[in-house]
């Protein structure tokens, strides 16, 4: 089978069960693809190919009726973001000072992937401490976008998105504290889901940070739902994890008749013309599917959104890396040092101010989602960022310069409104040859609605079909 490395997870599982494809064949194809493209995209921090092939042979035996029943992900190559812990494997967080750290435990959601038969053949690159919208570090170098290597795959789950786009993984994991699943999904033309806070168990102490989410990344909506159903659900290690477990149905109800709001700029962002045009085309596809799409305006203020986010990061995320910064500042990336310096400007007195701002930001969104089934908007204000972009540098938008890199992070409001599930799906291709993304924001904890709308769009715009459209690598 040609382009075997681009096979979807759901297709692969069906072929495994029918004995028409072996997990060994699929794993071999994925590894061979990685060996061909990794010198260009650099999406893998570490590989475990020998172990993965042994596990694929064991999965092959299970599909042949030997060694127990096949499991939900049995035999699928799954790339896991290096930020997540796996016992016995390195857990460097992309930082030179931590280059020798080995995890002593496995994150609960990753253990669920392993228990479901997923084969972790590779760990994916991140920016240092996952604190940038691009993926490069002094430890791993620059990760590039398979659609156009001059551009970034996004961050912080950029390695996972690049691997999916390049065909070097069938499924992948990401984490999201300010857009880190959705930004790479948009830049690389894949599907990324930010579950609502608490849906997927998180490691302490970030399980208590409501901006933080672990989530699935895939090439299709069905594959994303498959992985989400494996990793979601309450866990005794995480007091914030939600019960009962929610399952995304295998057969989703049609989206026809749903009433959906649409905003090309969320009321306060300057948006690239290609991004806006592709978002409108995506809205039109949903209209053609019978969805009632109505344009709305949100009374949001961008400075308020950025202030709330900076207070939150300064109170929680910044202090989490201050000890390493104090000892190893010279070994850290420029964006990490800048992050810590900015966090130093936030005081304890700002905490309540930040909470009040978050409430003011959610209020109009909450009312909107009481009146509509979901909100559609661009995932990111520009199609991509240069591969070596350093946060803090200006970002051009439609011939004008945004001096603050947060001016293009249209993902941030939905970490503030963290109980809202958000799916990013491909909306089209930009003039630079990189994809753009559409975000689908559903009411709090209404994950299924986001998947229903995404599936309706994918039915009319099956993006990742290697016979029609794929990266140039």
Give per-residue pLDDT as tens, 45-99. 999 999 999 999 999 999 999 989 999 999 999 999 999 999 999 999 999 999 9
pLDDT at 468: 67
In whole angstroms, how large is the CA radius of gyration of the chain?
Answer: 21
Check pLDDT > 50 for residue 311: yes
Residue 272 has pLDDT above 60, yes or no: yes
Instruction: Give 150: exposed, middle or buried? Use CB within 10 Å, 0-12, 13-18, 19+.
Output: middle
Any idea what the Cα angle at residue 368 is, between residues 365 and 371, rounded to 5°? Answer: 155
Residue 425 scores a pLDDT above 50:
yes
Distance CA 421, CA 15 (A): 31
pLDDT at residue 472, as a whole number: 72
- Of 336, 357, 457, whose CA–CA distance to 416 is shortest? 357
pLDDT, tens digit, 9 for 90 and up, residues 357-412 = 999 999 999 999 999 999 999 999 999 999 999 998 999 999 999 999 999 999 99
What percentage of the chain reaches a pLDDT higher than 70? 99
- pLDDT surpasses 70 at 289: yes
Q: Is residue 470 predicted with pLDDT exceeding 80?
A: no
* Tens digits of residue pLDDT in 426-437: 999 999 999 999
pLDDT at site 466: 59
* Predicted local distance difference test score (pLDDT) of residue 1: 47
Closest by CA position to 74, among listed 218, 199, 197, 170: 170
CA neighbor of 405 nearest in space, from 423, 424, 439, 380: 380
Alpha helix locations (H) across 127-216? 158-166, 182-188
Per the CB < 8 A criterion, the answer to whether 155 and 134 are in contact is yes
pLDDT for res 67:
87
Is pTM beyond 0.85 here? yes
Which residues does residue 260 pair with via DSSP β-bridges, in sequence order?
A: 293, 374
pLDDT beyond 90 at 469: no
pLDDT at 386: 98
Segment holding 456, helix H or strand E: helix 447-460
**Phi, psi dihedral angles at 283 (to 5 degrees):** -60, -40
pLDDT at 473: 74
The C-alpha atoms of residue 79 and residue 173 are separated, in whole angstroms, by: 7
In this prediction, residues 447-456 reach a mean pLDDT of 98
The closest alpha carbon to 184, from 228, 120, 125, 107, belongs to: 125
What are the C-alpha distances in Å from 409 to residues 178, 261, 384? Answer: 8, 20, 11
Question: Is the bond preceding residue 32 a cis peptide, omega within 30 degrees?
Answer: no
Chain center to CA of 43: 14
Pairing of strands 259-262, 292-295: parallel
The string of pLDDT tens digits covering residues 209-238 is 999 999 999 999 999 999 999 999 999 999
With beta carbons less than 8 A apart as the criterion, state whether 116 and 74 touch: yes
| 240 has pLDDT over 60 | yes
d(CA 213, CA 198): 8
Enumerate the H helices of 179-272 as residue ranges: 182-188, 221-231
Which fold, 4-460?
Amidase signature (AS) enzymes (3.90.1300)
Residue 301: is its pLDDT beyond 50? yes
Catalytically active residues, by annotation: 81, 156, 180
CB-based burial, 104-128: b 16+ in 10 Å, e otherwise: eebbbbbbbbbebbbbbbbbbbbbb
Mean pLDDT, rounded, for 140-169: 98
% of the chain with per-residue pLDDT over 90: 96
**How many other C-beta atoms can be found within 10 angstroms of the C-beta atom of residue 352?**
10
Q: Is the pLDDT of residue 467 over 70?
A: no
């Amino acid at each position: 089978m040609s382009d075997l490395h681009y096979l979807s997870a759901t297709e692969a599982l069906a072929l495994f069960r029918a004995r028409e494809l072996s997990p060994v064949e699929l794993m071999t194809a994925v590894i061979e693809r990685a060996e061909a493209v990794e010198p260009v995209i650099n999406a893998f921090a570490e590989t475990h190919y020998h172990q993965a092939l042994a596990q694929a042979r064991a999965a092959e035996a299970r599909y042949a009726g030997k060694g127990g029943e096949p499991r939900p992900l049995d035999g699928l190559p799954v790339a896991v973001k290096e930020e997540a812990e796996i016992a016995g494997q390195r857990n460097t967080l992309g930082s030179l000072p931590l280059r020798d750290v080995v995890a002593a435990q496995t994150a609960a959601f990753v253990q669920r992937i392993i228990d479901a038969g997923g084969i972790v053949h590779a760990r994916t690159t991140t920016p240092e401490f996952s604190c940038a919208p691009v993926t490069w570090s002094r430890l791993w170098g620059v990760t590039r976008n398979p659609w156009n290597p001059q551009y970034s795959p996004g961050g912080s789950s950029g390695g996972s998105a690049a691997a999916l786009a390049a065909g070097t993984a069938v499924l992948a994991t990401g984490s999201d504290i300010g857009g880190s699943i959705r930004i790479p999904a948009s830049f690389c033309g894949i599907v990324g889901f930010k579950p609502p806070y608490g849906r997927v168990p998180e490691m302490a102490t970030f399980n208590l940070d409501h901006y933080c989410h672990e989530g699935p990344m895939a090439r299709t909506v069905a594959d994303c739902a498959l992985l989400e159903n494996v990793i979601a659900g309450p866990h005794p290690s995480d007091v914030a994890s939600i019960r009962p477990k929610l399952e995304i149905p295998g057969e989703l109800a049609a989206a026809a008749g749903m009433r959906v709001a649409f905003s090309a700029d969320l009321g306060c962002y300057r948006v690239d013309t290609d991004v806006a045009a592709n978002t409108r085309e995506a809205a039109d596809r949903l209209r053609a599917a019978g969805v009632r799409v109505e344009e709305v305006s949100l009374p949001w203020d961008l400075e308020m959104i950025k202030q709330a986010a900076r207070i939150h990061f300064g109170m929680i995320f910044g202090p989490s890396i201050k000890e390493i910064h104090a000892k190893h500042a010279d070994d850290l990336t420029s964006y990490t040092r800048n992050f810590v310096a900015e966090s130093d400007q936030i005081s304890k007195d700002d905490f309540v101010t930040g909470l009040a701002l978050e409430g003011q930001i959610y209020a109009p969104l909450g009312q909107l989602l009481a009146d509509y089934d979901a909100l559609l908007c661009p995932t990111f204000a520009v199609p991509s960022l240069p591969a070596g972009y350093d946060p803090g540098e200006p970002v051009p938008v439609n011939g004008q310069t945004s001096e603050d890199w947060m001016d293009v992070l249209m993902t941030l409001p939905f970490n503030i409104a963290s109980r809202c599930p958000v799916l990013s799906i491909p909306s089209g291709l930009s003039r630079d040859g990189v994809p753009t993304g559409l975000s689908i924001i559903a009411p709090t904890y209404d994950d299924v609605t986001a998947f229903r709308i995404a599936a309706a769009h994918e039915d009319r715009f099956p993006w990742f079909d290697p016979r029609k459209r794929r990266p140039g690598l």
